[in-house]
Amino acid sequence: MVTPSAQLSGLGWGFSTTDLILQARQKLPRSRVDEIATLGGLTKKQMALVLGVTERSLYNHHQGELSVPLSERLLLLEKVFQHGLSIFDGHREGFYTWLHTPLAELATPEVGFASPITNYVSRPITEMGTKQGPADLLAAAQARRERLANQQATTAQPMMSYPTPLSLLDTVTGCKLVDNVFTRIESGVFS
């Protein structure tokens, strides 16, 4: 069972940020890159992309200490990964899979998605539910798949896929969006 974080940040993060600035200013050693990449299940190439540097620069030129901004990004990633692993009760494989899974919750205007537009009209309460018994969920799922396939076939533009959590970790705002999903899961909100 997931319990909400004991000490939340005053900045809205789902984890404490009190030591983040102090640690970043002390400049992390390059070896922490590998430790945090392992924590998040990332390859060297993915880690370089997330940190916004080339793989060559990260692993060849940064043999000593990292810069303060790079140290801060690395510490932020570590905190996000730790928060995520706590949500997944330490199950690394599940967490790694989740990082690579497209999520509708992350399809926000900040990442280039328009606000949802719908022509949904709610039905009167008397029309909701059935008297025949429970709905056939398999038939409903099949009907939805067919409706989406027809919608895609008639649309000239291909449907944009949802972003993965990993694809957003290259920005602070993206890290915040991913952390918000973790906080929602902790609070019991379906995400």
Encoded amino acid at 74, one letter: L
pLDDT for the residue numbered 157: 55
Give 133's DSSP letter: S
* Phi-psi category of residue 56: left, alpha or beta, with phi > 0 → left and psi -120 to 50 → alpha: alpha
Encoded amino acid at 8, one letter: L
Categorize the per-residue pLDDT at 1 as very low, low, confident or very high, splitting at 50, 70 and 90.
very low
For the cut 70, the answer to whether the pLDDT of residue 122 exceeds it is no
Task: Give the pLDDT confidence of 91-115 residue by residue, as tens digits.
Answer: 999 999 999 988 888 887 777 776 6
CB 98 within 8 A of CB 40: no
Task: Give the pLDDT confidence of 124-170 residue by residue, as tens digits.
Answer: 656 555 555 555 656 666 776 787 677 767 665 555 678 899 999 99
* CA separation for the pair 118, 77 (Å, rounded): 35
